[in-house]
A and B are shown apart, each in its own frame.
Chain A
Amino acid sequence: MKIEPLGDSALIVRVVDEFARDPDASLSEVLAALRALEAASIPSVIELAPAYTTVAVFFDPTRVAPDEIPETPFDWLRAKIEKVLKSRPALQKQKTESDAIEVPVCYEGEFAPDLPEVARHAGLSEDEVVRRHSSASYRVNCLGFTPGFPFLSGLPAELATPRRVTPRKEIPAGAVGIGGAQTGIYPRKSPGGWNLMGRTPLRLFDVQREPPALFQAGDRVRFRKISREEFDALSG
């Protein structure tokens, strides 16, 4: 574990060294660190943000308890964080597959303009690409890019497809795409360079909800293939 400053009012806790070797275990470690830091409620901490191998800690360096300052607010907070993470209990039980969030996706027609390209790149039929995409189990590595956008690991390696050379200026809300080895869902209309495979009628981000994003880092996700009729009915 390594703790580095991210400017004067944040720091980054590098919880694990490498992600790719075992994404699932890495993510579980990072989430366990996140939960431990949340539970510790260290003074001056404003919020925590996990992503892949790290937890970022945003804090107010002027709110550090003055009589406890050894050197700098950064050193003070780093010592607190190290103490919390060293004494943290063993990993909590992971969510089982049945806890996965099911995302209905229609992989047809106008919703899947890049399905032929993904199939060509994979050397598989379009049906086979859809079958593999919708039978794999995914995990949310982090949210970002736009509010509620989930970066998912777990894409079958053969479906990995480089991002489009020229990004699209406008991608509709609910579009499911592949960008390199990751898959994700665009929560709202936005520009983007991922290969579009389908569309979900689910609302991924809604400011009226708490939390506003449908997913949180660590959530397990499965895609379920639906027909255009079902998509329209669910969109109703």
Chain B
Amino acid sequence: MKALVRSAGFLTSVQDLGRPGYRQSGVSVGGALDPFALRVANALVGNEDSAAGLEATLGTLRLRFEDDRLVAWCGGGFTARLGDEDLPPGHAGLVAKDEELVLTAPQKGARAWLAIFGGINVPLVLGSRSTDLRGNFGGLEGRALRDGDLLPLGENGDLEIAAPWGSRRIAEWTAPTPWVATARRDPFLRIVRGPEWNRFTSDAQSSLVATAFTVTPDSDRMGARLEGPSLDRTDTSDLLSEAVAPGTLQVPPNGQPILLLGDCQTIGGYPKIAHVITVDLPIAAQLWPGDVVRFHEVPLAEAQELLREREENYARFRVGLSLHTS
């Protein structure tokens, strides 16, 4: 069975949890810029975490299915319509055969992740179904979706679980709001110090956490370029390239930091002043040109503890869902 892309929107691509294991070949991990949002959406429809879904960026995505399908979405402040009904983020909904699902016009944020029962069944490339938009491999023919594309879907399941939902065809149970609606106005992102923190002036160190930075237009899935006070170094000697990761805040010689996102290169030679913590990457994934962002430093142990708590809560959420869906 397939889904027909009636309208592909501004930039929509097939993504899963990414392609770890190939950094040694220079391959970015990529995948959903907010992998947690995709996991939650997958859980809501009864998929494995790793099932491939769609990442939509701004614009309007319209899909039509060849059979009745459970769907769910999480992310920015989009509006989703399922026939005549609103499908709020973080709820499973049943889209009838030949009915249109419309995901449109975020009021806040930039991206949303849509899970479809059975997942999008494109071939695995280097262990992942993610689209590498720079490398042009993975996903659907290694590219963003176009109007008229047909997306192969995994096998459909038993839709009996939707029977109690009535004519609204939308599940009552949901995931915690902070997981499903991740766009914030003027967000704070929590950071830990980077390896080169001490190579920056004390002015740069205090500016990083005391000042607002604006996201500039040349931002994409590789990174958000920020504009603010110049972050100057005490030591301007060249660095050898070494690993970077999504969340790394690197500072080129012009002093304006770049917040690296999922499609970032595997290595970089710019000093790394800080890193956005993993639990705040969902908020970073919603940044769009013109947005204002601030940083707040936390200890590394707290960042790791927050991640542990989130994963514990997610495991409980999965167990809770299985009571509804079995």
Asked whether A54 and B242 contact (CB < 8 A) given A6-B275, A7-B277, the answer is yes
Contact flags A149-161 to B (C-beta < 8 A → 1, else 0):
1010000000000
Contact of B25 among A19, A56, A148 (CB under 8 A): A148
* Contact B134 A72, beta carbon cutoff 8 Å: no
**Docked complex: B256-283 residues within 8 A CB-CB of A:** 265-267, 272, 275-278
Question: Which chain B positions have C-beta within 8 A of A4?
Answer: 195
Question: Which chain A positions have C-beta within 8 A of B265?
Answer: 144-146
* Contact A7 B245, beta carbon cutoff 8 Å: yes
Q: Which residue from chain A places its CB closest to the CB of B306 in the assembled complex? A: A8
The answer to whether A52 has its CB under 8 Å from any CB of chain B is yes
Q: Which residue from chain B places its CB closest to the CB of A188 in the assembled complex? A: B135
Question: Which chain B positions have C-beta within 8 A of A74?
Answer: 300-301, 304
Surface stretch bound by B, among A81-89, A100-108, A114-122, A205-213 = A205-213
Most chain B CB neighbours (cut-off 10 Å) among A8, A61, A71: A8
Report the bound CA distance from A58 to B247 in whole Å. 13
* Contact B134 A10, beta carbon cutoff 8 Å: no
A2 to chain B, nearest CB (A): 9
Report the bound CA distance from A77 to B304 in whole Å. 13
The answer to whether B161 has its CB under 8 Å from any CB of chain A is no
* Contact B26 A143, beta carbon cutoff 8 Å: yes
* Contact B241 A151, beta carbon cutoff 8 Å: yes
* Contact B137 A207, beta carbon cutoff 8 Å: yes
The answer to whether B303 has its CB under 8 Å from any CB of chain A is yes
* Contact B300 A143, beta carbon cutoff 8 Å: no
Question: Which chain B positions have C-beta within 8 A of A53?
Answer: 240, 242
* Contact A144 B300, beta carbon cutoff 8 Å: no
The answer to whether A202 has its CB under 8 Å from any CB of chain B is no
* Contact A49 B307, beta carbon cutoff 8 Å: no
Report the bound CA distance from A19 to B25 in whole Å. 21
Asked whether A8 and B277 contact (CB < 8 A) given A146-B135, A212-B126, the answer is yes
Question: Which chain A positions have C-beta within 8 A of B135?
Answer: 146-147, 188, 205
**Docked complex: A14-68 residues within 8 A CB-CB of B:** 19, 46-54, 56, 58, 61-62
Asked whether A46 and B20 contact (CB < 8 A) given A10-B245, A51-B242, the answer is yes
Question: Which chain A positions have C-beta within 8 A of B307?
Answer: 8-9, 61-62
Report the bound CA distance from A48 to B23 in whole Å. 8
* Contact A72 B304, beta carbon cutoff 8 Å: yes
* Contact B134 A8, beta carbon cutoff 8 Å: no
**Docked complex: B190-235 residues within 8 A CB-CB of A:** 192, 194-195
Question: Which chain A positions have C-beta within 8 A of B1?
Answer: none
Report the bound CA distance from A61 to B303 in whole Å. 10
The answer to whether A216 has its CB under 8 Å from any CB of chain B is yes
* Contact B195 A6, beta carbon cutoff 8 Å: yes
B63 to chain A, nearest CB (A): 27
* Contact A147 B195, beta carbon cutoff 8 Å: no
Q: Which range holds the interface residue count of chain B?
A: 35 or more
Report the bound CA distance from A159 to B112 in whole Å. 49
Asked whether A56 and B243 contact (CB < 8 A) given A49-B266, A147-B135, A211-B25, the answer is yes
The answer to whether A192 has its CB under 8 Å from any CB of chain B is no
Contact of B267 among A9, A144, A148 (CB under 8 A): A144
The answer to whether B292 has its CB under 8 Å from any CB of chain A is no
Contact of A147 among B20, B26, B240 (CB under 8 A): B26
The answer to whether A198 has its CB under 8 Å from any CB of chain B is no
* Contact B304 A205, beta carbon cutoff 8 Å: no
* Contact B20 A212, beta carbon cutoff 8 Å: no
* Contact B266 A144, beta carbon cutoff 8 Å: yes
Report the bound CA distance from A213 to B240 in whole Å. 22
Contact of B242 among A5, A7, A12, A213 (CB under 8 A): A12
Q: Which residue from chain B places its CB closest to the CB of A151 in the assembled complex? A: B241
**Docked complex: B1-51 residues within 8 A CB-CB of A:** 20-28
* Contact B266 A12, beta carbon cutoff 8 Å: no
* Contact A52 B242, beta carbon cutoff 8 Å: yes
The answer to whether B155 has its CB under 8 Å from any CB of chain A is no
Asked whether A8 and B24 contact (CB < 8 A) given A19-B240, A51-B243, A61-B308, the answer is no
Question: Which chain B positions have C-beta within 8 A of A149?
Answer: 26
The answer to whether A142 has its CB under 8 Å from any CB of chain B is yes
Closest 10 CB pairs of A and B: A56-B243, A7-B275, A213-B25, A144-B267, A143-B26, A8-B303, A49-B23, A52-B240, A72-B301, A61-B304
A interface residues with partner B (beta carbon < 8 Å): 4-10, 12, 19, 46-54, 56, 58, 61-62, 71-74, 142-149, 151, 188, 205, 207, 211-213, 216-217
Given A6-B243, A143-B26, A147-B22; 14 other pairs, CB 8 A cutoff: A7-B245, A7-B278, A46-B20, A48-B24, A56-B23, A56-B242, A58-B20, A58-B23, A74-B304, A142-B267, A144-B26, A147-B27, A205-B25, A207-B125
